Structure 1
């Protein structure tokens, strides 16, 4: 069995439970054991960097983030990689989405280097969730006038429609974007060649770690490429069927019952 040298995990629906919490003490002990075993820990998420840093503040040794579905990689405060969407393409996609009643979402956002930009009149279905996920909101009159480094376009749609709509967006802008259902009624749109697998691989290569030496956890469509690419792809018991189909292992317990932490213990014990 190939020795695992890097463990990466998605956050919502994977590492966190439904109350958006994790067992701080247990995980902190695991970080000590991982460090002793020479295993690096990486957060790989569709969320923006500031949110991820806030989530993992209770365990401050977590300092490596593949954010924005791979479009922004930061390790101990140092930016390793940035992959922005070209602004003309951002404006083209926004215009197409807002002009099509079938594509127009409840909320449309731009995730940028200096803020998450949202139209003045857009109101989310869950204001508390928006405040939780986006602690850098900037209200604007016109998204096409935003001038920033844009990592991702994000929107909210009825949850049962997001996979179909993501496919429609990819077909409408072939070779230009990668639209992925990210769960909770959300679609993330990044650069065509970008996903968590690409971002994680860039980081691992800088450490001399091969894909076969990586274990990764995820629960939704934006995790599929990452799980398929690594040596040990672990789908959550509560994950989507599409993620489970590419996984090497499904967690015996779900995200509400320490699914990730239980498998990390098994990895550290040499049981998987």
Structure 2
């Protein structure tokens, strides 16, 4: 019996315009509550962004943010893991030295997302607020994620996966392609599956077998592999489509998650 639903956000819950169908989600949440099924958001996005995004859905109160580096439940931090300050500066230098220099580098902190300045803000595709600074090494904050981004499709997902592997081989970190030209460089041991275990291992002796997980990109890999039912979005990347137990019939622009949840849990 499935007791939890864990969903990615970008490319999964949000459509291509970065919009959430909150009305339909709230209807599903009310019915799931009657079945004692909890909905967990598991995303590479910052907690600040997720809290704002899901504000219209008060029944969602558990967020695995920044791919598991910061977990917040009912407004309380239940787990966090940050980079050491000295390592942040090393990682900034390392990503700037990659074969293709990123257009922008973000640092995800507690209250802010910091970024290097970019020349063309119109090219910025993400609905998050950035504090642009001239020198990221001077940022004084807890840093959960070093996030280089390549805009305008100048590098392929496979190239970014290769860059991520280089980072893993050189530093004590976990790095992954997270979609939309992004790479996340996270503290070692951080991923969405590990985040789920932090939340539910104490009351689920089968670990993640009671979880239905949805995702579309490489940073969802462990979560989909370890969940009782790993569901790839119809629009997912090829590596995720290959490993999933199931693929949604509809993509993220057509409520793919909600339609699949209705089918799995027999919602009206």
Instruction: Name the structure 2 match of 1:15.
Output: 13
Q: Over the residues paired in the alignment, what is the CA RMSD in angstroms?
A: 1.9
1:45-77 deviations in Å (ceiling 9; x for gaps) = 000011111111121221110000110000110
* Aligned partner of 1:146 among 128, 132, 139: 139
Q: Report whether the alignment pairs 1:45 with 2:38.
A: no
Instruction: Determine the structure 2 residue equivalent to 1:194.
Output: 190
Q: Identify the residue that residue 232 of structure 2 maps to in structure 1.
A: 235
Residues in 1 aligned to 2:67 and 2:234: alpha-carbon distance in whole angstroms? 21
Unaligned runs of 5+ in 1: none
Task: State how 1:1-272 maps to structure 2 within 5 Å.
Answer: 3-98=1-96, 100=97, 102-119=99-116, 121-123=117-119, 126=122, 129-130=125-126, 132=127, 134-135=128-129, 137-158=130-151, 159=153, 160-174=155-169, 176-208=172-204, 210-269=207-266
What is the distance in 1 between the residues matched to 2:9 and 2:164? 25
Alpha-carbon shift at residue 173 of structure 1 (Å)? 4.4
Q: Could you give the per-residue CA deviations for residues 170-215 of structure 1, whole angstroms, max 9, x where no partner exists?
A: 3244251222111111111111211111111111224446311000
Runs of 4+ residues deviating >4 angstroms: 124-128
- SS of structure 1 residue aligned to 2:222: helix
CA distance in 2, matches of 1:196, 1:267: 22
**Aligned residue-pair number:** 263
Corresponding residue SS for 1:81: strand
